[in-house]
Structure 1
Amino acid sequence: MTITLLWDAAGLDQWVMTQFGSPQGFALQHNWWLETVLHQWMRHLAWVFLALLALMVWHPLGFFRQVSRQQRTEMLLGTLLALLLINVIKHDSLISCPWDLRLFGGVAEYRSHWSWGVSDGGPGRCFPGGHASAALAFLALPLGLLTSQRAADRRIGWWSLTAVLLVGAVLGAAQTLRGAHFPSHTLWTALLCWTAALLNHLVWRSITKNRLKPASISPQHRSESLINPQM
């Protein structure tokens, strides 16, 4: 959160985009690696990974056999919650993408994403970064492992956390180079996905604690059990 807020306060978004764009647009907008590989292919791969995660809930393989079904369900629902949150916010956002700005050959005027409800004159629906969520939504996977009592789980949690953040950063950077998103859009996506994963984890932990609580035995039932042990 600190990095995200400091970036916003510094106002670095426009400066970064001017390094890659001009009034004629963004030279790398249709770069094959950025558009086809890191955007289209990675988006399809994310859906495949999500489907596999859903399959692991009921038919675990490999590492997923070491965690309970409840933990696997937590991972899946946390990921879905993050994806839903990002898409709901994007749907109502009036912030347009950099390539839609007049500064880069578009029609929209720059508006900070803090100016919620204020139209920039463009198509909007560009905040936060949706493509980065193809990776960052999976922050729900390592979160449950990082709080495990097993050292092996925590180790896998750290590795998976690093992988998710790294892939999310690469996808976000690819969209920035293409002119599709400001860097802050990716930072906010990371923060929102982590928040969704954390809230989901806290809810599931609360459910687990409640299920583990021993059922209370009334004094009357206890006395009846002592009189008649076969009950």
Structure 2
Amino acid sequence: MQLSSKLNQHETLPPIRINALYPLSARFYAIHAVLLAVFGLLFLWLARDGSLDNALTGYWFDPLTQRFPWKDNRWLDLINHRLLKDMVIVTGVTLLIAGLLRRQPRWILVALLTGIGPLVVGVLKATSAHSCPWDLVMFGGKAVAWPLLGVAPPDSGPGRCFPGGHASSGFSLMALFFLYWPTRRRLAWLCWSGAVVLGLVMGYGQMMRGAHFLTHNLWAGWWVWLAQLLTYGCVTYLTNKMRKK
């Protein structure tokens, strides 16, 4: 009787919560598809004429010397550009090794998700014709700025600056969401929110150096989350499909 009543209690974990690689519902993906579309339109609007980007990054530009005084700042480079990025990498590698040793497929997948986002952003950045602020004419460079969805002018500069690669490292920890979602949803959202804050902080450090605009960093977070959702959805779908055979 005690066992039967205990099994019927509300706190009994549903099957989805004990699966090593649990699937997310279609409703979950539908909601996030709508949110990604809304935020994508918002980011396009923010980048429509570059005024917000120029104002925020331009705050750190010295018109007298025609340079960004914080560009080669030792501490900004050491703490924001190196130390924080190294900590993110160590987190992902540690989770991967622990997952392999303890045979935890969810840990392994989450560790791989921390790398998939920056990888996608890195590919997009490498093929982008948009140049960094410090390369633009308005900030002492020689390249010409142009709208995000416009046609690249001949003098667009070296490019390879969109989306923000460094910020994507911080955003990559949004993958921890999938680690805790089945049993500890508050912690899952806390990890997700913390990763967003970390990505924005790392991205702002690059804005101070003249390396990126705000929308570069916002789009980095957008692409990271999209890549993680798609990857997680595909892997869990294929895994559960194979189990049913």
Segments of 5+ residues of structure 2 without an aligned counterpart are: 1-35
Give CA deviations for 1:180-200 in whole Å, capped at 9, x if unaligned. Answer: 100000000000000001001
Aligned residue among 92, 105, 108 for 2:143: 108
In structure 2, how many angstroms separate the alpha carbons of the residues matched to 1:50 and 1:189?
18
Deviation at 1:144, TM superposition (A): 5.0
What residue is the counterpart of 2:107 in the other structure? 72
Deviation at 1:140, TM superposition (A): 2.0
TM-score, length basis structure 2: 0.75
What residue is the counterpart of 1:139 in the other structure? 174
What residue is the counterpart of 1:39 in the other structure? 81
Give CA deviations for 1:155-212 in whole Å, capped at 9, x if unaligned. Answer: 2211211221111111011111111100000000000000001001211221243144
Deviation at 1:29, TM superposition (A): 1.6
What residue is the counterpart of 2:25 in the other structure? none
Paired residue secondary structure (1:186): helix
Deviation at 1:53, TM superposition (A): 2.3
Paired residue secondary structure (2:150): coil
Q: Which moved more, 1:176-185 or 1:26-35?
A: 26-35
Larger Rg belongs to:
1
Quote the sequence identity (%). Answer: 32
Contact conserved, 1:82 with 1:196, CA < 8 A, in 2?
yes
Paired residue secondary structure (2:47): helix
What number of residue pairs does the alignment pair up?
Answer: 203
What residue is the counterpart of 2:165 in the other structure? 130
What residue is the counterpart of 2:212 in the other structure? 181
In structure 1, how many angstroms separate the alpha carbons of the residues matched to 2:179 and 2:46?
29
What residue is the counterpart of 2:57 in the other structure? 17
Segments of 5+ residues of structure 1 without an aligned counterpart are: 61-67, 216-231
- The structure-2 alpha-carbon separation of the partners of 1:118 and 1:193, relative to structure 1 and needing over 3 Å to count, comes to farther
Contact conserved, 1:139 with 1:194, CA < 8 A, in 2?
yes
In structure 2, how many angstroms separate the alpha carbons of the residues matched to 1:52 and 1:113?
37
| Poorly superposed stretches of 4+, deviation over 6 Å | none
What residue is the counterpart of 1:5 in the other structure? 44
Paired residue secondary structure (1:9): coil
What residue is the counterpart of 1:83 in the other structure? 118
Contact conserved, 2:130 with 2:160, CA < 8 A, in 1?
yes
TM-score, length basis structure 1: 0.79
